[in-house]
A and B are shown apart, each in its own frame.
Chain A
């Protein structure tokens, strides 16, 4: 009977459309909300694991010296530091993991394994999500020269100061994480910091870059640096 089969086709088609619509709504909920929930709990567990690890190997016994001790080699996929950027929020702090793989960036910020280690001569470079997974670098364009980027590896507080407004470039511009990036304000080798994220917020056509230099270091035993307490 043609009427019945037409009805069946229309009904099945409508049901399929509703199903696909529901799937899309669920996926949007996942991307906008659930990745953030997952990333926040992953970041929290990374940070508490770090604090646990630091508590077991007390750094306070290290004698006073002007130069911070060289950090131990980092393990891929493991967090080794916590980053604070007061400009992005008083409570903004994220773990920094070694590596920039998908899994690393789902738990926190990722350190480009090819770049130097914290506080060492060279360019300590870190990537982070602009959107999804807790939106760590959502307010990246708000960063300004002079802003503090503070990191701790459990032994030392490293205070970097930014030197440029976020610089927009293309993804293939790998020179931005060079030891002395050509487009940066720096002209001679030093202890630098590079932050990278994507631009526009939900896109991938460009990258935003912020550069900074190491301003000061301070043993953890002496308490938080002024950039965080002030």
Chain B
């Protein structure tokens, strides 16, 4: 998988390394900005209220 990506990146080794770094940072950004904020409320740490219908209070 990673070997395949590396082989398909353009440029010499330095350019590829730089592109890889940018890709990794972009993925981490998307995770922290969009994926994790969506996933985290599905875990129980948010359940701090007494129930008034789960949809409204979680």
Contacts and interface: CB of A to CB of B under 8 A. Distances in A.
Interface of A: 11-12, 15-16, 23, 26-27, 30-31, 34-35, 100-102, 105, 110, 112, 114, 127-132, 137, 169, 171-174, 176-177, 196-198, 202-204, 207, 209
A199 to B, nearest CB: 9
B11 interface: no
A196 B40 contact: no
Interface in B1-19: 1-3
Nearest to A35: B40
A204 B3 CA distance: 43
Interface majority SS on A: helix, strand, loop or mixed? mixed
A196 B47 CA distance: 10
**Range, interface on chain B:** 20 to 34
A207 B52 CA distance: 14
Contact of A207 (B28, B32, B39, B48): B48
Contacts of A132: 40, 45-46
Dominant secondary structure at the B interface: helix
Contact of A31 (B28, B45, B51, B58): B45
Interface of B: 1-3, 28, 31-32, 36, 39-41, 43-52, 56-58
Nearest to B50: A174
B50 A196 contact: yes
B17 to A, nearest CB: 18
